[in-house]
Structure 1
């Protein structure tokens, strides 16, 4: 029980970073929204499942990679935390910039002909796996929750939990934004959402950079 309480704050912080990160639409989320609106809810859900699977792949690769690095080079945690912390601060800057902008989200369907459900899922997976920011995002998330010397179950809990969250959130996007009114509602609340995200990313980045663990 004591061991769980030791690692639980970091796990919850990693979950929070992931959850709020998904709340800030990037290319993958906008593709899900646009596909649900322009093609169908079913196509959007298929694309969402592909994105979630890609997210799981990135999480697993990052967790395994960082665990291996930390097991061999304990000092590497300092470099990892600096990279992750600076990236979170950059996300905070982007979120505050978006909050100050009058520019709304641009959601559109994927180019090309209509695909099968598997085709949309495969495209969603490719979109997520070829996203150049995904590696930095997952380094930051895993670094928040994975302390040096942490047992394997901590990485398993982080990866499994974020995968389940990814499925739920991306599918919710697909279902909710299959009606255009949701884009309008999100647009009205966008600035407040982005400002909140900016504050959290700034807090998480500062915490990661100043952590002594």
Structure 2
């Protein structure tokens, strides 16, 4: 029980960072929204599952990669945390910049014509796996939850937990944004949402830079 209490705050912080990261629509989310609006809810859900599966793959690769590095070079944890903290501060800057902008989100149908459900799933997976920002984001997220000498179960809890959150949130986007009214509602709240995201990312980034363990 004492071991769980040591790692639980970091795990919850990693979950929070992940949730807020996907609350701000990027190329993957916009693809899900655009597909749901233009093609249909089922196609959007298939694309969403592909994106979530890609996110799961990035999470596994990041956990094993960072764990291998830390097991060999314990001092690398400091460099990883500095990198992760700086990336979170960059996300804060982007969120504040978006909050100050009057430009709304643009959700469009994917190029290349209509696809089968499997085709949309595959396209979603490719979108997520070929997004370089996904790798950077996962390094920041995992570094929030991993401490030096953390047991394997900590990484497993982060990976499985974020995967379930990813499936739930991406499917929610596909269902909710299958109507133009939801896009308008989000557009009206976008600046407030981005301001909240920027505040959290700034807090998480500074916390990561200030931590030493």
- For the criterion TM > 0.5, the same-fold answer is yes
Aligned to 2:169: 169
Which stretches of structure 1, 4 residues or more, deviate above 3 A after TM superposition?
none
The secondary structure found in structure 2 opposite 1:112 is: coil
Aligned to 1:6: 6
The secondary structure found in structure 2 opposite 1:121 is: helix
Aligned to 1:195: 195
- 1:102-126 Cα shifts (integer Å, max 9, x gaps): 0000101100111000000000000
- The offset of 1:171, in angstroms, is 0.2
Aligned to 1:20: 20
The secondary structure found in structure 1 opposite 2:132 is: coil
For residues 113 and 15 of structure 1, the distance between their equivalents in structure 2, rounded to whole angstroms, comes to 35
For residues 171 and 30 of structure 1, the distance between their equivalents in structure 2, rounded to whole angstroms, comes to 13
Aligned to 1:148: 148
Aligned to 2:77: 77
- 1:34-83 Cα shifts (integer Å, max 9, x gaps): 00000000000000000000000000000000000000000000110111
For residues 136 and 37 of structure 2, the distance between their equivalents in structure 1, rounded to whole angstroms, comes to 30
Matches within 5 A, 1:5-154: 5-154=5-154
For residues 187 and 144 of structure 2, the distance between their equivalents in structure 1, rounded to whole angstroms, comes to 30
- The offset of 1:206, in angstroms, is 0.2
For residues 148 and 127 of structure 1, the distance between their equivalents in structure 2, rounded to whole angstroms, comes to 32
Aligned-residue Cα RMSD (Å) equals 0.4
For residues 113 and 180 of structure 2, the distance between their equivalents in structure 1, rounded to whole angstroms, comes to 22
- 1:139-196 Cα shifts (integer Å, max 9, x gaps): 0000000111000000000000000000000000000000110000000000000000
TM-score w.r.t. length of structure 2:
1.00
Gaps of 5+ in 1: none
For residues 160 and 74 of structure 1, the distance between their equivalents in structure 2, rounded to whole angstroms, comes to 25
Aligned to 1:205: 205
- 1:15-42 Cα shifts (integer Å, max 9, x gaps): 0000000000000000000000000000
TM-score w.r.t. length of structure 1:
1.00
